[in-house]
């Protein structure tokens, strides 16, 4: 359960934070030129209860931070840069030992940077007794990764572009029991990282301008669908928004194509499920994996169908949730 306490006299030396990945139903794709990692579009997501990063932060003597993370050097460097930024912003002395682990594949389009930077921001506040509000934690996490701003909350979450954008919760997960089946189509790392691909889309896709223009309407439709628990309406706008983002990505020069044959196999299967009366929709981020969203009671049978598809390596089934936890200190 979430807790962030202020202990003015107590100094902590170690905290453990678990934060969940999230998946955007209305996507953030594009950055503003000004500010620190400011999104050019609003976005709306659901937290994935069982896809988690666990991060232990310990204070250490010494002249540099130590990062234990089984990931490429670039991912470790992003953590070091983020710690430097936090140290500067809060005028903190000293260094940290960070041990971080994902219980799902890293850097393959499954939002590991979202849960990772949310866990770091929360852990930093906790170990230093900074007592930062969730709004500020969300702003900090956003600097590490745009989607991380949303993982500071569980449930249904949105971000609206603003001077120093932050996420807020639309509705708790319990108010609409949905499930997500993550279909793994590749264990390889992304061909092009999201920041680079966003820049490339803004610079070369003829559809980027339209992507930005029509975004507010998609947000309004999705928010309303969530509040009304209107699955069909949410399915319609979420798939449209996902395909529009990939439309802009595919039409870059040179083009970026994240999809694999197995990605398309899942998309077709979801359409067939819907035609035969099973409520489900798909969404895809900057990678080959497909996330299938459905009412919780349909998860088992849909998972059985998806995991049989050619090229699908395995699936992960989770409910919507994802409240961060500070599990030990």
> Are 122 and 132 a contacting pair, CB within 8 Å?
no
- 123 is a site residue for ligand PMV (CB under 6 A): no
Nearest approach, Cβ of residue 285 and ligand PMV (Å): 4
Within 13 Å and on the Cβ side, how many CA atoms surround 320?
26
Phi, psi (rounded to 5 degrees) for 321: 180, -120
Where on the phi/psi map is residue 183: left (φ > 0), alpha (ψ -120 to 50), or beta? beta
Nearest approach, Cβ of residue 288 and ligand PMV (Å): 13
| CB of 24 or CB of 316, closer to ligand PMV | 24
Site for ligand PMV in 46-85 (CB under 6 A): none
Tell me whether the omega of the peptide bond preceding residue 254 falls within 30 degrees of 0, making it cis. yes
- Residue range at the interface with ligand PMV (CB under 6 A); choices 51-59, 64-72, 145-153, 200-208: 145-153
- 269 is a site residue for ligand PMV (CB under 6 A): no
Token code pair at residue 30 = 């594009």
| CB of 291 or CB of 319, closer to ligand PMV | 291
Which whole-number Å values give the CA distances from 215 to 132, 209, 238, in the listed order? 31, 10, 11
Site for ligand PMV in 188-247 (CB under 6 A): 194-195
- Give the C-alpha separation, 148 to 243, whole Å: 22
Helix, coil or strand: residue 325 = strand
- 24 is a site residue for ligand PMV (CB under 6 A): yes
- Residue range at the interface with ligand PMV (CB under 6 A); choices 21-29, 259-267, 268-276, 312-320: 21-29
Token code pair at residue 142 = 């956003």
Which ranges of the chain does DSSP label H, i.e. alpha helix?
A: 73-89, 112-127, 134-144, 194-204, 208-213, 215-227, 231-250, 261-275, 299-307
- Residue range at the interface with ligand PMV (CB under 6 A); choices 24-32, 62-70, 217-225, 260-268: 24-32
| CB of 127 or CB of 287, closer to ligand PMV | 287
- 43 is a site residue for ligand PMV (CB under 6 A): yes
What does the per-residue mask of binding to ligand PMV show for 158-197, with x meaning CB under 6 A? ------------------------------------xx--
| Bridge partner list, 102 | 53
Chain-centroid distance of CA 153 in Å reads 11
Phi, psi (rounded to 5 degrees) for 258: -80, -20
Nearest approach, Cβ of residue 174 and ligand PMV (Å): 23
- 135 is a site residue for ligand PMV (CB under 6 A): no
Q: Sign (positive/negative) of CA torsion 140, 145, 146, 151?
A: negative
- Residue range at the interface with ligand PMV (CB under 6 A); choices 97-105, 141-149, 176-184, 223-231: 141-149
Nearest approach, Cβ of residue 89 and ligand PMV (Å): 20
Nearest approach, Cβ of residue 249 and ligand PMV (Å): 9
Q: Which residues bind ligand PMV (CB under 6 A)?
A: 24, 27-29, 43, 113-114, 145-147, 194-195, 285-286
């Amino acid at each position: 359960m979430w807790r962030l306490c202020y202990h003015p006299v107590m100094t902590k030396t170690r905290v453990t934070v678990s934060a969940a990945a999230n998946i955007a139903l209305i996507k953030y794709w594009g950055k503003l030129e000004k500010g620190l990692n400011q999104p050019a579009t609003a976005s709306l997501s659901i937290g994935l209860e069982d896809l988690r990063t666990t991060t232990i932060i310990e204070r250490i003597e010494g002249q540099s931070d130590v990062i234990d993370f089984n990931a490429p050097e670039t991912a470790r460097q992003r953590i070091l840069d983020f710690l430097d930024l936090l140290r500067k912003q809060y005028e903190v002395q000293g260094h940290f030992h960070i041990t971080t682990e994902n219980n799902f594949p890293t850097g393959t389009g499954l939002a590991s940077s979202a849960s990772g930077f949310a866990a770091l921001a929360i852990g930093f506040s906790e170990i230093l007794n900074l007592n930062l509000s969730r709004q500020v934690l969300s702003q900090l996490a956003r600097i590490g990764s745009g989607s991380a701003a949303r993982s500071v909350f569980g449930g249904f979450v949105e971000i609206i572009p603003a001077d120093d954008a932050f996420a807020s919760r639309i509705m708790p997960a319990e108010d609409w029991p949905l499930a997500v089946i993550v279909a793994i189509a590749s264990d390889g790392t992304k061909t092009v990282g999201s920041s680079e691909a966003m820049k490339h889309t803004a610079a070369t896709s003829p559809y980027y301008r339209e992507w930005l223009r029509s975004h507010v309407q998609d947000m309004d439709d999705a928010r309303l669908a969530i509040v009304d628990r209107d699955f069909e309406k949410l399915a319609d706008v979420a798939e449209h928004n996902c395909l529009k983002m990939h439309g802009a990505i595919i039409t870059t020069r040179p083009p970026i194509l994240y999809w694999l044959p197995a990605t398309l196999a899942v998309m077709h299967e979801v359409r067939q499920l819907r035609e035969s009366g099973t409520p489900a929709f798909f969404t895809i981020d900057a990678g080959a994996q497909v996330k299938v969203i459905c009412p919780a009671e349909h998860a088992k049978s849909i998972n059985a169908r998806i995991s049989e598809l050619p090229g699908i390596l395995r699936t992960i089934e989770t409910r919507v949730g994802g409240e961060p936890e500070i599990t030990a200190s």
